[in-house]
Structure 1
Amino acid sequence: MVFKGILKQGEYFDSVSLMIVARQLTEMEVVLDAAVVMGTSENKAILQNSGMLLPEFEAAGDTDLLISVKAQDESGVEQAFQQVDKLLDTVRHHVEDTEEFLPKSLDGALKIMPAANIALISVPGKYAAKEAMKALEQGLHVMVFSDHVPIEKEVELKQYAREHRLLVMGPDCGTAIINGVPLAFANVVKRGNIGIVAASGTGLQEVSCVISRQGAGISQAIGTGGRDVSQQVGGVMFLEGLKALKDDPLTQIIVLVSKPPHQDVFQKIATELKTIAKPVVACLIGEDLELIKASGAIPARTLEEAGMLAAALSQGKTQEDVKMMLEQRTQELKALAAQEAEKRQETQKYLSGLFSGGTLCDEAQLILRDILGKVYSNTPISPDCKLEDSWKNREHTVIDFGDDEFTVGRPHPMIDYSLRNGRILEEAQDPEVAVLLLDVVLGYGAHPHPEEELAPFIREAKAAAEEAGRYLSVVCSVTGTDADPQDKTRVEQTLTAAGALVMPSNAAACELAGYIC
């Protein structure tokens, strides 16, 4: 085997383009492994852990391009290097095959669409605030998809927006549905009378999909970005979104989704709830349910329960109906878990959760903590459960691959499955792992064929465990709808055929995985 690399100084490419180039390189017969990434500290750490970091890469900066290739021989490496230059040149000079004029500035776009009232900002974080302010000054609502925006800039943008009766969704806002239009990582859901305000992208996706699958629909779904409910930002847009839904004639039921807001922000939300006559369901993951109830909202323990409660209210059903359905489902999951548990070896004691959705990972920790006790994570809900090394599990562990340490300079794991797929195979080799817990998130912007990415690795992981004399349970949830570009049913069928136990929600998948252990 030959292992070599190239450092190209000052050659910037976006992460999705580099993902495509790396994938095409690894498909070459002569290439054993390849990586093509920008030289951020996070990417260098990933290369180090995957055995792809070369000494000459240590001094690379964020705007330097790193190319690592492992091949069977010198000839293979040279072929790969020649191919990568061709691929990068193609990316650099790629022009869309369209005669439509594509403006290069906000001013140019507004000349073409003078009636536009919202701008979606997706540029590197250090430039995003400036572009967002330009849009606000033009009287546009703004959705800032970009992350790594300084929090003081977020505060500045949101205070300006509030003063000018505008919304700023984000920074790091991955999902919204405005007037029926899905934005960024949103799903195709039914229209209806339920409005959502969420400081969580995947949380909003899970709740809106549950609502749609229950036969109800969404009026508006407003994302705020996760930092909005922090003390520093003060819940500015969460409150503005709540007020907007209060005044929206199409919204009859409101759902709130977030991690626990700072105490000051929670009090502001509770005060605003007293002015709202519409029913409000709140899933503030990890918050005291009695405290939520005292604020005037209907508390939901899980994202699934929040969606089901909202749908029930929309359809004239009761909270008790939802409670009974969930209790019956829990008994069914326990029975299935008992069957799976009988197949494992005595050495298999632990759960390994590998998540692409941050809020789904948080929800998993809460559900699993109630079943299993202590659960470790790179994004722990309790400080004493923080992993020392995100690349090494400790007993029961759940990892959020959408956290900044994995996504700086790389596509989000809902787009690029490579890091998580590699970890699936690593965990399958661990004699103490009894169950793998995975999430799959569908919708616009996500990988168009996640089942094709994931299914082969599920098969390989189960086969590796079987070869070692063990039985590995793989439990998956799929967030999405059949109307999504990926087709939820098709994805579920493919994953099931690969040997996964596919559950209707993240909460159900977490319960099943926990009971197996």
Structure 2
Amino acid sequence: MTMAIKFFRDTYVDSVVQLRGMRAMRETEGVDWASAAMATPANVETLRAEGIEPAQVTDAGSNDFFLVVRAANESQAAEALAVGESTVLSSGPAGDGDRQHDAPRSLRDALRAQPESNVAVISVPGDYAALAAYQALSSGLDVLLFSDNVPLAKEKALKDHALSRGRLLMGPGAGTALIGGTGLGFANAVAPGSVGIVAAAGTGAQEAMSLLDRWGAGVSQVIGVGGRDMSSEVGGRMTRSAISALREHPATEVILFVSKPPSPDVATAVLATAGETPLVAALIGLDPEFPAPPGVVLADTLESGVVAALGLLGMTAPDTTQTLGPSVELSLQRMRPGRSLVRGLFSGGTLCYESLVILGRTIGEVRSNTPITKEWGLPAPDGSHQCLDMGEEEYTRGRPHPMIDPEARVELIHEHAADPQVGVIILDVVLGYGADPDPAGTLAPVCESVMADGGPQVVAYVLGTEHDPQGFTAQRDRLVKAGCIVTETAARASLVAAAIATGDPSLVRIPL
């Protein structure tokens, strides 16, 4: 085998374009492995683990882009690098000749070119993210801070600075927003409406906005605040500001706040500021003893939060459970005896967390790389239920996020399906801007294969709308045709999985 690598100095390449280059190289004859990424310290470590000589990456920096390939011989490696380079350079501004030289190289240059800009989207390594955010806030911009690995102290200082200037600091680690009808990060295409969303959960925001669109309410704004905002350390700084902004937004009639369980004291203080605009707080896994402040409706799943928001508008959600019982019974007939374990392979961290909550209530202990109960972490003992968040660093180091690259889950689907005790596999299929253009096209054939001849059944949830580039119905139908049970909400997917694992179809109609 031959390893070959090519660097592009001071060249930023978007993660979607990186994926295209990687796929093009992997499809080249003789290629055993290939990657395309920015030369961050973590990615450089991955290169070394794959066999790249240390001297080849000594001068690599986080602003450099690289293509790397392992192939049967030198000529095939060189051909693969050429294919990767051609794919990347034809995909966007990074290699677009004269336009690359004209691209702004600082925030000041960008504002000079686009003085009407009012939002900055920052996606740089965490070591540099805080400085970039300070510069944007000081320039009068709201900020979506997509970057993670920003120290807690810097997050608090950034949010205080934003509040002092009357700006929004969405993040760190804020993956989704919809501001003024424009989707930022991993957003879905939704119709305008009267529900404003504040979210300390990326895929939680996507689930809420997609259900509101599909069930006829639409969305006014989506403000992400970052997963740590409701912690005792951050104190809900940006959640308060976001709720206040939506209270003053004339098109917002109901506010839906989405989060994993926050610090109780912070939740009490923040929700007490709800004001006159009706507010639903969908706090996943909420303690049933938590008191509802005046004017606030509490919910403990994403589905029930959206249903409550619809109720405040005088609307009702459709009953999507009628066909699930018969589908569970058919799955039990197709599956070989002895298969009773659940394995969830998630691309969305919030959806994984919600599944852990629902499965914990119905089938007991579920192991995870992001456990609710510390003692239920990994490694998992034989015979355990498991839910894995494959967007976590251990699965994304050196490769794209599973929302961008559905192939990231293919190997694990086969691995878990080969376990004769596994009876059901849960998959979330996330659509929208930034996601893979056809995730069901990759996953459906794999699902059909593992379900054949009495294998484990696959329960899938498609998160998205008809307006998304991938098309909700087309993606759902592709999975249904492969034999998957496809549910209307993420929560129902977990209940269907529990029903198959226990042999009790009645679980699918549990009220949420």
Q: Could you say which TM-score interval applies, normalised by the shorter chain?
A: 0.7 to 0.9
Q: In the alignment, what sits opposite 2:472?
A: 488
Q: In the alignment, what sits opposite 1:112?
A: 113
Shift of 1:305: 1.8
* Contact preservation (8 Å) 1:352, 1:393: no
* Aligned-partner Cα distance in 1 for 2:375–2:388: 15
* Contact preservation (8 Å) 1:282, 1:292: no
Shift of 1:372: 1.1
The Cα offsets for residues 36-88 of structure 1, whole Å up to 9 and x where unpaired, read as: 5567786699899xxx83485799788596845254xx4xx641344215634
Shift of 1:257: 0.3
Q: In the alignment, what sits opposite 1:255?
A: 256
Q: In the alignment, what sits opposite 1:403?
A: 392
* Contact preservation (8 Å) 1:435, 1:473: yes
Is 1:25 aligned to residue 25 of structure 2? yes
Residue type at the aligned position of 1:31: V
* Contact preservation (8 Å) 2:204, 2:351: yes
* Contact preservation (8 Å) 2:200, 2:229: yes
Residue type at the aligned position of 1:306: G
Q: In the alignment, what sits opposite 1:122?
A: 123
Residue correspondence of structure 1 range 56-95 to structure 2 within 5 A:
63=61, 67=68, 69=70, 71=72, 74=73, 78-85=75-82, 87-88=84-85, 91=88, 94-95=95-96
Structure 2 unmatched runs, 5+:
502-512
* Aligned-partner Cα distance in 1 for 2:36–2:104: 30
Q: In the alignment, what sits opposite 1:207?
A: 208
Does the C-alpha gap of structure 1 residues 99 and 369 become closer, same or farther in structure 2, counting only changes over 3 Å? closer
- Of 454, 460, 463, which residue of structure 2 is paired with 1:476? 460
Is 1:433 aligned to residue 422 of structure 2? yes
Does the C-alpha gap of structure 1 residues 460 and 346 become closer, same or farther in structure 2, counting only changes over 3 Å? closer
Does the C-alpha gap of structure 1 residues 36 and 254 become closer, same or farther in structure 2, counting only changes over 3 Å? closer
Structure 1 unmatched runs, 5+:
none
Shift of 1:407: 2.8
Q: In the alignment, what sits opposite 1:371?
A: 362
Q: In the alignment, what sits opposite 2:378?
A: 387
Residue type at the aligned position of 2:428: D
* Contact preservation (8 Å) 2:46, 2:398: no
Does the C-alpha gap of structure 1 residues 54 and 394 become closer, same or farther in structure 2, counting only changes over 3 Å? farther
Q: In the alignment, what sits opposite 1:449?
A: 438
Does the C-alpha gap of structure 1 residues 82 and 59 become closer, same or farther in structure 2, counting only changes over 3 Å? closer
The Cα offsets for residues 315-368 of structure 1, whole Å up to 9 and x where unpaired, read as: x24xxx66xx66xx5564334213212322222121111111110110111111
Is 1:338 aligned to residue 329 of structure 2? yes
* Aligned-partner Cα distance in 2 for 1:228–1:171: 9
Shift of 1:29: 3.3
Q: In the alignment, what sits opposite 1:278?
A: 277
Residue correspondence of structure 1 range 42-53 to structure 2 within 5 A:
53=50
Shift of 1:98: 6.9
Q: In the alignment, what sits opposite 2:149?
A: 148
Does the C-alpha gap of structure 1 residues 420 and 204 become closer, same or farther in structure 2, counting only changes over 3 Å? same
Is 1:5 aligned to residue 3 of structure 2? yes
Q: In the alignment, what sits opposite 2:292?
A: 293
The Cα offsets for residues 370-416 of structure 1, whole Å up to 9 and x where unpaired, read as: 22111111111111111127xx9862111111112223443221111
Provide TM-score, normalisation by structure 1. Answer: 0.86
Q: In the alignment, what sits opposite 2:507?
A: none
* Aligned-partner Cα distance in 2 for 1:173–1:117: 17
Q: In the alignment, what sits opposite 1:303?
A: 302
* Aligned-partner Cα distance in 1 for 2:56–2:111: 43
* Aligned-partner Cα distance in 1 for 2:329–2:183: 40
* Contact preservation (8 Å) 2:431, 2:462: yes
Does the C-alpha gap of structure 1 residues 503 and 244 become closer, same or farther in structure 2, counting only changes over 3 Å? same
Q: In the alignment, what sits opposite 1:510?
A: 494
Greater displacement, 28-37 / 60-69: 60-69
* Contact preservation (8 Å) 1:4, 1:54: no
Q: In the alignment, what sits opposite 1:159?
A: 160
* Contact preservation (8 Å) 2:35, 2:398: no
* Contact preservation (8 Å) 1:141, 1:168: yes
* Contact preservation (8 Å) 2:111, 2:117: yes
Q: What is the aligned-residue identity percentage? A: 41
Secondary structure (helix, strand or coil) at the match of 2:292 reads: helix
Does the C-alpha gap of structure 1 residues 248 and 292 become closer, same or farther in structure 2, counting only changes over 3 Å? farther
Residue type at the aligned position of 2:368: S
Q: In the alignment, what sits opposite 1:458?
A: 447
Shift of 1:480: 0.8
